[in-house]
């Protein structure tokens, strides 16, 4: 089951205070001309909903307002009911392309200013596109609301004149880079679009990828893009949702001012549901730069929010949704496969059941064998049937995940926006709850028989290059090809523009009000007799508890010969215990709707726990079982060892993984700090079960452990529950002793790692540098770096992405912890622009080092960083991070004020001095991962030494 989809719209009864009851409707005229009040949902403690008020402007814009006074924030979301499914055959990728263009300035907002304005307002922003909708959103301090409405209205009504041929060309290159980074240069990256071509008929709206085909984007011109905008981006095809520390009475006049003058767009046609059926199995295959072959099976089903969607989600969970699923039992548990799963991704017009399996090479099983096991699992399900436990567990997951989604104003606004866009009812939550609660055993068996049993599917084999013999079966389907002719001839004369008529000067940027007062969370602290430090705060917005446990013992406690041991130990702590099998433990956690995640980092083993507070006691019992009664049995060990080895070998096909590991090795040598935290094939192969038991016995001790708690319970209640859980734990682990002496590595040299035929190159440039501090030179160096490479509008990103079109994103940063640190500039760039990108990186670093920051950049940095406080403590997870930092560095909460003072007062001279000190490229190493055969001649032209580098 795709829980992220369900969590977007589902809530079950929990007694939240920020809830709603019945709808209030009105046919009366609203007091603001041009605005019609539609309905409201009022707070009601007997029901679970997100309160809102809904309005409609005369131009068709739907406006939803949600009041949430818990934090001085506001979240603005504009969702357009247009995605790749509204495109035409041969003109794919337009919706996603426009997601890029909408950030490139509009008539009253200069080029690149959109990101800058929101960043210096202390906000965050983004946009996303899928098959059915495009949304743009920002979270800012509440005093910045009017400015956000001005920005969003300007690109809705005043964009086209600012869309130039030059911007079009740059963003076309950026989209190509995004595709290269996320699809073409990633193992299995092209699988999804190949499956879609086979699953859906030629011309079906889902038969092409959201990002589009590059041939289509290369063929069209800027006027094609403008025509697409004029058709779909009118106010009558949009929903504006605003939530936060506001009131509808204050917001509506601003919405009317900026959005009401925008003319209505063309009538938006209703798109019919388009589920599909296959008359026979379609086998397709592809060779790729992968380590393991992969089998994918896709069965067409229904469409989103149909009566069959919910039982299909339940079916997918039973057959392949987790450690209790049939595919896990039959493929992963038996070590026939490294991974296997089944889910039911659903979109507005059509859905499909998706299954994949990666065979474990030690099993000797083929993709044909995988297909057979999957089909046998269907037969097993038919005999097994559906148990009440299946339904209870899934409903518990939905309840908890949905409530966790209410922890931010962004989460609530997103739910309202999605419900309105796809159903016309912001309160669709109630219907969603009902349909999942109403799923019966008979419903699940019915959809199994209707969509899976004996039905045809698309079966795709992805195999390593040169190993076509491994495919599950011979291809029997070829997608139809088209010749759409040469370059588009669409001209500006073919466009029918719309112009707004204003009664005010829209070119004047609204001024923000006074920065809202932001309160640092009230903290409590205590220490246990066995050496544990507890730090907590109360957060009453949702009935949830989040706990972060940091136990000393991580990568730095290992030996180089068996690197990966702490990570492996953490993995086995998530398996069976003395009293529970892995499956029983997973089932127990899922029935509570809780999450217990165990992982290691450089210095600690970390346990993250989240739960509904009503289930806290039961969840803590399971935490205690996992941490203090691990079974460490041989079967779990062998299965996870094989999975780790295969995952490492798979990762070695990923350019980003190669770059990160190669770069760390250059900076640290063969020291433990320079090795991958998950280990390498040799080290993981050498780890024994006794090693795991020994690491746990030696390092898993309470002395020095930190537990951070954010709960709606007060200190006395939650402290006693946690303290009792760990009361019997005793001992102290040894300190780690890592030699951080820098290796003797030649600098100002290009180290080249070969990844044959890579469409993109990964670049890392940097050096070892300062350890992290909170208010010292490390903190100030990151202030210095902000304008260089620390934000979207930084010099590096604007140069390589926006000006040159070499990359999807470029950045730089100072990084570190209490033990070591460094500076890194990085990007994934077009292969043919690798040498040019290195030149631009070097020029930007040298220029900033020699000339320093400008007055404008200094002011931008101060505004952007000092106004972010309102966003720092909103959610429980944000509070956990804040408290963890306080414990790690033994801070007083007043360090926030000290940092703010530094940001406000740091001088241009001090920043320039830091730039000159830390940005000398002659002291840096250059690492490039790409196709060495073609890159070497170009890199040698730069006049730098090029060294072949083996990992």
State pLDDT tens for residues 275-297. 999 999 999 999 999 999 999 99
Enter the pTM of the model.
0.91
| 523-725 and 282-405+424-470 share a CATH fold | yes
> Taking all residues of the chain, what is their mean pLDDT, rounded to a whole number?
92
DSSP assignment of 255-294 equals: HHHHHTTSPP-SPPPPPPP-----SS-EEEEEEES-SS-E
Q: Which of 301, 245, 247, 251 is nearest to 278 (CA)?
A: 301
pLDDT of residue 542: 87
State pLDDT tens for residues 529-562. 999 999 999 999 889 999 999 999 999 999 999 9
Distances (CA, A) of 195 to 30, 178, 476: 50, 20, 13
d(CA 703, CA 532): 6
CATH no. for 750-948: 3.30.830.10
Q: Are 710 and 548 in contact (CB under 8 A)?
A: no
d(CA 290, CA 294): 9
pLDDT of residue 20: 35
Q: Is the pLDDT of residue 202 over 60?
A: yes
d(CA 373, CA 196): 24
Distances (CA, A) of 134 to 75, 240, 577, 736, 819: 16, 12, 46, 49, 43
Within its chain, how far is the Cα of 53 from the centroid?
A: 30
Phi-psi region of 65 (alpha: psi -120 to 50; beta: other; left: phi over 0): beta
Q: Are 557 and 695 in contact (CB under 8 A)?
A: yes
Q: Which of 336, 320, 318 is nearest to 328 (CA)?
A: 320
State pLDDT tens for residues 386-444. 999 999 988 888 788 778 888 889 999 999 999 999 999 998 877 887 888 899 999 99
Share of the chain above pLDDT 90, in %: 77
d(CA 914, CA 908): 10
d(CA 707, CA 536): 8
d(CA 298, CA 191): 12
Stretch (H or E) spanning 547:
strand 544-552
Q: Which of 323, 345, 331 is nearest to 591 (CA)?
A: 323
pLDDT of residue 451: 98
SS3 label, residue 341: strand
DSSP 427: T
pLDDT band at 689 (very low <50, low <70, confident <90, very high): very high
Q: Which of 917, 882, 879 is nearest to 780 (CA)?
A: 917
Phi-psi region of 679 (alpha: psi -120 to 50; beta: other; left: phi over 0): left
634-651 vs 565-573: helix axis angle to the nearest 10? Answer: 130
Burial class (CB in 10 A: 0-12, 13-18, 19+), 442: exposed
Q: Which residue has the tokens 């304005």?
A: 117
Q: Is the pLDDT of residue 771 over 60?
A: yes
d(CA 79, CA 421): 7
DSSP assignment of 83-103 equals: -GGGSBTTBTTHHHHHHHHTT
DSSP 428: T
Q: Is the pLDDT of residue 373 over 80?
A: yes
Structure tokens at 613: 């507070």
Distances (CA, A) of 854 to 130, 784, 795, 861, 908: 39, 11, 11, 11, 8
pLDDT of residue 366: 94
pLDDT of residue 8: 29
d(CA 914, CA 249): 49
State pLDDT tens for residues 315-324. 999 999 989 9
Within its chain, how far is the Cα of 793 from the centroid?
A: 21
Structure tokens at 881: 């991070």
Q: Which of 695, 650, 669, 666 is nearest to 560 (CA)?
A: 669
- Residue with the larger pLDDT of the pair 422 and 893: 422
pLDDT band at 4 (very low <50, low <70, confident <90, very high): very low
pLDDT of residue 46: 67
d(CA 724, CA 616): 13
- Residue with the larger pLDDT of the pair 11 and 819: 819
Q: Is the pLDDT of residue 717 over 50?
A: yes
Rg (C-alpha) for the chain, rounded Å, is: 28
Cβ neighbors of 894 (< 8 A, separation 6 or more) are: none
Q: In what order do the strands lie in the sheet with 706-711?
A: 523-527, 533-538, 706-711, 544-552, 604-612, 595-600
pLDDT of residue 164: 86
Q: Is the pLDDT of residue 24 over 70?
A: no
d(CA 254, CA 119): 22
pLDDT of residue 214: 87
pLDDT of residue 583: 93
Residue 634 burial (CB count, 10 A):
9
pLDDT band at 23 (very low <50, low <70, confident <90, very high): low
Q: Is the pLDDT of residue 27 over 70?
A: no
Average pLDDT over residues 497-515: 88
pLDDT band at 104 (very low <50, low <70, confident <90, very high): confident
pLDDT of residue 398: 79
As its CATH architecture, domain 523-725 has 2-Layer Sandwich (3.30)
**CA-based torsion, 704, 709, 714, 719: positive or negative:** negative
pLDDT of residue 866: 82
**What residue ranges do the domains of the chain occupy?**
282-405+424-470, 523-725, 750-948
pLDDT of residue 485: 86
Q: Backbone phi, then psi, for 635, in 5-degree steps?
A: -65, -45
pLDDT of residue 322: 86
State pLDDT tens for residues 614-642. 999 999 999 999 999 999 999 999 999 99
Average pLDDT over residues 174-202: 91
Q: Is the pLDDT of residue 68 over 80?
A: yes
State pLDDT tens for residues 150-175. 999 999 999 888 888 888 888 888 88
pLDDT of residue 374: 97
CATH C-level class of 282-405+424-470: alpha beta
Half-sphere exposure at residue 777, Cβ-oriented, CA atoms within 13 angstroms: 12
Q: Is the pLDDT of residue 859 over 70?
A: yes
DSSP 794: S
pLDDT of residue 17: 34
Q: Is the pLDDT of residue 517 over 90?
A: no
Within its chain, how far is the Cα of 423 from the centroid?
A: 25
pLDDT of residue 889: 92
pLDDT of residue 9: 32
SS3 label, residue 60: coil
Average pLDDT over residues 118-137: 93
d(CA 461, CA 284): 6
Q: Are 142 and 73 in contact (CB under 8 A)?
A: yes
């Amino acid at each position: 089951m795709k829980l992220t989809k369900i969590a977007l719209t589902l809530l079950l009864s929990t007694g939240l205070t920020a809830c709603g009851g019945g709808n209030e409707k009105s046919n009366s005229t609203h007091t603001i001309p041009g605005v019609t009040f539609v309905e409201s949902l009022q707070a009601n403690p007997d029901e679970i909903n997100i309160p809102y008020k809904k309005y409609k402007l005369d131009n068709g814009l739907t406006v939803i307002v949600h009041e949430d006074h818990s934090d001085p924030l506001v979240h603005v979301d504009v969702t357009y009911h247009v995605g790749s499914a509204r495109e035409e055959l041969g003109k794919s990728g337009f919706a996603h392309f426009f997601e890029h263009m909408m950030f490139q300035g509009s008539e009253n907002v200069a080029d690149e200013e959109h990101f800058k304005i929101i960043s210096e307002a202390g906000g965050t922003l983004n946009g996303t596109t899928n098959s059915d909708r495009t949304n743009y959103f920002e979270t800012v301090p509440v005093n910045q609301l009017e400015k956000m409405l001005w920005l969003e209205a300007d690109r809705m009504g005043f964009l086209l004149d600012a869309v130039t041929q030059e911007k079009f060309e740059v963003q076309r290159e950026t989209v190509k880079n995004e595709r290269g980074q996320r699809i073409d240069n990633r193992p299995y990256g092209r699988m999804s679009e190949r499956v879609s071509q086979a699953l859906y008929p030629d011309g079906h709206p889902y038969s092409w990828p959201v990002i589009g085909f590059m041939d289509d984007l290369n063929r069209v011109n800027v006027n094609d893009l403008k025509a697409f905008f004029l058709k779909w981006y009118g106010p009558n095809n949009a929903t504006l949702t605003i939530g936060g520390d506001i009131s509808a009475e204050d917001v509506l006049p601003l919405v009317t001012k900026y959005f009401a003058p925008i003319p209505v767009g063309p009538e938006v046609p209703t798109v019919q549901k388009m589920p599909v059926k296959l008359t026979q199995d379609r086998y397709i295959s592809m060779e790729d730069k992968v380590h393991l072959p992969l089998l994918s099976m896709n069965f067409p089903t229904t469409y989103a929010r149909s009566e069959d969607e919910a039982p299909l989600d339940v079916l997918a969970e039973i057959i392949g949704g987790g450690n209790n699923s049939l595919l896990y039992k039959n493929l992963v548990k038996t070590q026939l496969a490294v991974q296997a799963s089944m889910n039911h991704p659903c979109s507005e017009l059509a859905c499909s059941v998706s299954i994949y399996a990666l065979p474990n090479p030690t099993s000797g099983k083929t993709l044909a064998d995988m297909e057979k096991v999957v089909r046998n699992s269907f037969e097993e399900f038919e005999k097994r049937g559906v148990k009440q436990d299946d339904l209870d567990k899934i409903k518990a997951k939905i309840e908890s995940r949905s409530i966790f989604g209410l922890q931010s104003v962004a989460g609530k606004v997103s739910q309202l926006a999605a419900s309105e866009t796809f159903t016309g009812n912001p309160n669709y939550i109630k219907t969603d709850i009902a349909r999942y609660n109403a799923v019966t055993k008979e419903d699940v068996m019915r959809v199994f028989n209707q969509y899976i049993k004996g039905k045809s599917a698309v079966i795709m084999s992805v195999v390593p290059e040169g190993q076509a013999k491994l495919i599950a079966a011979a291809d029997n389907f070829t997608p139809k090809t088209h010749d759409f002719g040469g370059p588009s001839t669409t001209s500006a004369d073919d466009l029918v523009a719309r112009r707004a008529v204003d009664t005010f000067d829209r070119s004047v940027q609204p001024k923000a009000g006074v920065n809202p007062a932001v309160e640092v969370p009230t903290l409590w602290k205590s220490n246990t007799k066995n050496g544990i430090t507890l730090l907590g705060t109360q957060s009453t917005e949702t009935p949830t508890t989040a706990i972060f446990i940091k136990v000393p013992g991580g990568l730095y406690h290992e030996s180089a010969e068996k690197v990966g041991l702490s990570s492996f130990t953490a993995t086995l702590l998530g398996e069976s215990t003395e009293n529970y099998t892995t499956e029983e433990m997973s089932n127990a956690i899922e029935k509570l709707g809780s999450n217990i995640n165990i992982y290691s980092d450089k210095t600690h083993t970390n346990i993250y726990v989240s739960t509904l507070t009503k289930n806290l006691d039961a969840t803590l019992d399971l935490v205690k079982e996992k941490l203090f009664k691990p079974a460490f049995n041989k079967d779990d060990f062998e299965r996870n060892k094989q999975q780790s080895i295969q995952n490492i070998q798979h990762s070695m096909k990923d350019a980003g993984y190669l770059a990160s590991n190669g770069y760390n090795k250059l900076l640290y040598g063969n020291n433990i700090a320079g090795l991958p935290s998950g280990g390498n094939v040799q080290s993981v192969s050498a780890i024994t079960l006794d090693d795991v038991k020994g690491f746990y016995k030696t390092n898993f001790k309470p002395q020095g452990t930190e537990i951070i708690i954010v709960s709606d319970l007060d200190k006395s209640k939650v402290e006693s529950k946690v303290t009792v859980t760990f009361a019997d734990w005793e001992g102290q682990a040894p300190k780690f002793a890592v030699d951080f002496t820098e290796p003797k590595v030649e600098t100002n040299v290009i180290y080249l790692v070969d990844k044959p035929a890579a469409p993109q190159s990964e670049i890392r440039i940097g050096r070892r540098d300062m350890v992290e501090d909170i208010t010292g030179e490390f903190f100030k160096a990151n202030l210095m770096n902000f304008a260089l490479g620390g934000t979207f509008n930084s010099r590096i990103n604007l140069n390589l992405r926006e000006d040159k079109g070499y990359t999807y994103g470029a950045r730089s940063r100072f990084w570190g912890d209490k033990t070591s640190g460094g500076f890194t500039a990085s990007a994934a760039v077009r292969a043919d622009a690798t040498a040019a990108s290195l030149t631009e990186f070097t020029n930007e670093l040298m220029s900033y080092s020699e000339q320093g920051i400008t007055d404008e950049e200094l002011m931008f940095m101060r505004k952007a960083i000092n106004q972010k406080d309102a966003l720092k403590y909103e959610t429980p997870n944000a509070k956990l991070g804040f408290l963890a930092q306080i414990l790690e560095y033994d801070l007083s909460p007043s360090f926030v004020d000290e940092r703010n003072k530094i940001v406000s007062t740091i001088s241009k001279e001090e920043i320039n001095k830091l730039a000159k000190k830390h940005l000398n490229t002659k002291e840096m190493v250059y690492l490039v991962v790409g196709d060495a055969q073609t890159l070497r001649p170009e890199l040698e032209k730069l006049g730098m030494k090029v060294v072949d580098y083996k990992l």
